[in-house]
Structures are given as structure tokens and as C-alpha cells.
Amino acid sequence: MNYPVWEPFMLGGGLVIGIIAILHVFVSHFAVGGGLFLTLTERKAYRENNPALLEYVKSHSKFFVLVVLVFGAVSGVGIWWSIALVNPEATATLIHVFVWGWAIEWVFFIVEIAAAFIYYYGWDRLDPKTHLLVGWIYFGAAWASLLVINGILTFMLTPGSWIKTQTFASAYFNPGMLPSLVVRTAVCIALAGVYALITSSAVADAGLRSQVVGYAAKWLLAGTLIIPFAGIWYISTVPAMAREISMGGAPAVTIFAGLSIFFSALVMAFTYFGPHQRPRHFNMVFAFLLAVLALSTTAVTEWVREAVRKPYIIYGYMYSNGMRLADVERTRELGLLKSARWVRHHEVDPQALGRSGEEVYRVQCASCHTVDGYNSIRFAVKGWSWAMIDYQLAHLNSLKGFMPAFVGTEAERQALGAWLASLNPVPTNIATEPASSAVSSQATDAAEEGPSQP
């Protein structure tokens, strides 16, 4: 409302963020867990006096640097870029609350990057003890960066007492922070195993390959064993409605939540019976299949985590479309188009209801919906008459708990309804006008704008 709305046509803003974020999460957790894996495996190689294992760690560190420092770092910036474009109001709020948190995370990034390069370029320059210490510094900084960003992420679903106090401490130490930290740390360990299975399956020496594959599988199993317990703890802290949405309230979310559990179980079973029990038979194809499965688990889980926050982007403070709860009443009284800055007309034009409705849609709905692509609004209202649409809009938050209430004047609501009704052919034998219409005299005009009004 405050900012021009960018509509990435078929994708929609949510999916743009989602695609970048899911890929980033899949790599950034490896950036943390992989650091621990490198350091502990290097130490193991020294302790067992196993030069072959050490060679493997060296080659894994090259893979690590290329994946983590390039894709991991840049995609992280990409999330920030995309959230600022899709939801500038929420991004601005987060930055105001957490700028020093991000500044602290930035310090950890600097240490993390310096340590990663020195670790990677230092194989032949540093003595084993110093090299290991650099590895520990890397892991410490990487985990600390997770510690910071995790609190900011959970804040959005469980802002806790911040709504009242507005202090940094209450925002950061929110109810979901600690359990989510445990979940994410376990994911880091599991993903360290996933990536290590990829590189270890490429080891030429059969004996070493078998040894490292079995070892990497243990990392994956250890991580996946912790996740369900920490996950239950995390779920116990989320708002009741968020739980309901994922447990039957919204079928799509419930299915994805189920898929998250199913994929996780598959990863665990696949790892146990595959690389753990039969490391000799494990190969690159299996490793990639496992990685795809792990990526799918990440994707559905992150999707559910985002979906259960609906209808908010900051729970109980700001709706997904960027409107603060505190601004709802004023906007309702003044009117949405009058309050919005980036519209062509600040009043509903009775002669062009559809056009006004489209502007209302853009300001209020387009941050989650697209017209024809992801979460298509045309599909959502297919077969609905204008009267039906108007009734839905008037009771949006009660009928669909994961959507915010419509905010605007009655005329704006009916304009939106007229535009939505014009998107599809309207079934005959259904009342096509709202029962009490503030703009009923213009209904015919609106109907004329639709492609197939009666």
C-alpha cells in the first residue's frame, strides 16, 4: 500500500522469494554443518594417521568453497533482495528492529569468509594444529551467524512480547527462537552428511570410498534423528492457528506438512539401508537422488513454515500484504485507494468499476496472488458470481482463516468483486449482483466490462 506493487507475472512474489530461499537454505545449512564436518573429519584423519582420508577432506573443501562461498553467500543476499522487492514494508520493519542483529551477523560473515579462504588455501601453508583451529573458527562463526538469523526468522511467526514492548531483546529472544535453533542445527548436521555423500561417492579408491560413505551416512542419520524431537518442541511454540492450518485447517498446507514428514522418513530409511548398511554399493546416482530428496524435504518444510504464518507476515502485527493491524481501522474509514500511494485513481470510478477493482486487487491481494499463475485469483473465483464473491470478500477472514480481512470501503469491495467476477464466465441462474450494493446502479456498467457477464 505504501510501495509500488511488483507483480512477477506467473510466479508471484511469494514464489520468487520461495525459490531463492529454499535453494539458499539448502546450501547455507551445509555452510554451517559442512564446516563442522570438515574440521572433525580432518581431526579424525590426523588421529588415525590416515593420509587418504586427509586427501578426501582437501578435495571436499574445494567443493565446499565453491558451493558455499559463491552460491550460499550470493543467494543469501538474493533473499534480502527479493523480500525487499516483494514486501518492502515488512523488510523495513525487520531492519528497524534488528539492524544491530544483522550488523553482528555481518561480523560473523566476515570472520567466516576469511576463515574459509584461509582454511582452503592453507592446506599446504599451515601446520595441522593451526589449520584445524582455523576450521573451528570457521564453524564457530558460521554457527553464530545461524544463531543470529534464526532469531530474526522465528520473530516473524512468534514475535512474542515485542508487540507490546518493542525492544530488541523481546524480539530476538522470542518463543520460537530456541527450538528452531535446535532444529536448524540438526538440519546443518544432516546436510553435511548429504553433501559429503556426494563427494565421497566420487572417491576412486573403493576402500576409502566405503569408509567415508559409511561415515557420512552417520552424520545424516544423527541429524535426522534429532529433527523430529526438536520439531515437536518447535511446533509447541507456534500460535494455535498456525498449528491448525498445518493439521487439517488448510488442505494444501496439511499435505505439504505430511510430505515433509514423509520425505524426512524416506531420507532416514534410504540412508540407513543404503550408505549406512551397504556403503560399498553406494554410488553418485544414489547420492544425487538422496540430495534431491533432501532438497524436497527442505522445500516442503520451508513452504509450510511460511504458509502457517498466514494471514500475517509478522504475526499479530502486519498482514502478508504489508498492512499493519494498527492501520486497518483508519484505512477502512478513509478508503483503501485514498490511503494507497501507488494507484492511478484514488476513488472508485462508478463508470469503470472493473478498473478500480483491479487497482484494489493490486494493492491488497497481489503480494500473495497472481492473476493466472501461482495462487491464481482467476482460478480461485472460477464459477463464482459477483454476489458470491462479494459475500466472500465481506467475510474473508472468517471464511478463510489464512487470509486477512478485506480492508476498504464497501464501494471498493464491490469494485474488487466486479473485477474478480469479470475474470471468468459467470454461471447462469445465479444472482449476479451483491444483495445490497453501494454501487448497484453501476452494476450494469461493471458487467459490461467483464468478458462474459450475463
Of residues 151-170, those binding another protein (CB under 8 A): 166-169
When the beta carbons of 115 and 388 are compared against another protein, the nearer one is 115
> Which lies closer to another protein via its Cβ, residue 71 or residue 286?
71
Q: Is 173 in the site for another protein (CB under 8 A)?
A: no
In this structure, what C-alpha cell is assigned to residue 82? 527479493
59-98 residues near another protein, rule: CB under 8 A = 66, 69-71, 73-75, 77-78, 80-82, 84-85, 88-89, 91-93, 95-97
- How far apart (Å, rounded) are the C-alpha atoms in residues 443 and 122? 74
Q: Judged by CB, which is closer to another protein: 134, or 388?
A: 134
Comparing CB distances to another protein, the nearer of 121 and 288 is 121
State in angstroms the smallest separation of the CB of 127 from another protein. 6
| Pairs from 151-156 (Cβ < 8 Å, separation ≥ 24) | 151/101, 151/177, 151/181, 152/94, 152/98, 152/101, 152/102, 153/180, 154/180, 155/94, 155/97, 155/98, 155/314, 156/90, 156/94, 156/309, 156/312, 156/313, 156/314, 156/315
Q: Judge contact between 33 and 224, C-beta under 8 A.
A: no
Among 15, 113, 247, 328, binds another protein (CB under 8 A): 113
Beta bridge partners of 318: 314, 324
Q: In the range 6-25, which residues lie near another protein by CB under 8 A? A: 6-8, 16, 20
What x-and-dash track marks residues 317-356 binding another protein by CB under 8 A? -------x-x--------------xx-x------------
Task: State the residue for C-alpha cell 525487520.
Answer: 94
Interface mask toward another protein for 124-153; x: CB under 8 A: xxxx--x---x--x---x------------
Q: DSSP secondary structure string, 47-98?
A: HTT-HHHHHHHHHHHHHHHIIIIIIIHHHHHHHHHHHHHH-HHHHHHHHHHH
CA distances 257 to 175, 183, 244, Å, are 21, 15, 11
Instruction: Phi first, then psi: give them for residue 430, nearest 5 degrees.
Output: -125, 140
Choose one: 105-113, 188-196, 300-308, 377-385; the region binding another protein (CB under 8 A): 105-113
Q: What is the dihedral sign for C-alpha 89, 90, 96, 99?
A: negative
Least CB distance to another protein at residue 45 (A): 15
Residues contributing to the site for another protein (CB under 8 A): 2-8, 16, 20, 66, 69-71, 73-75, 77-78, 80-82, 84-85, 88-89, 91-93, 95-97, 99-104, 106-111, 113-115, 117-118, 121-122, 124-127, 130, 134, 137, 141, 166-169, 324, 326, 341-342, 344
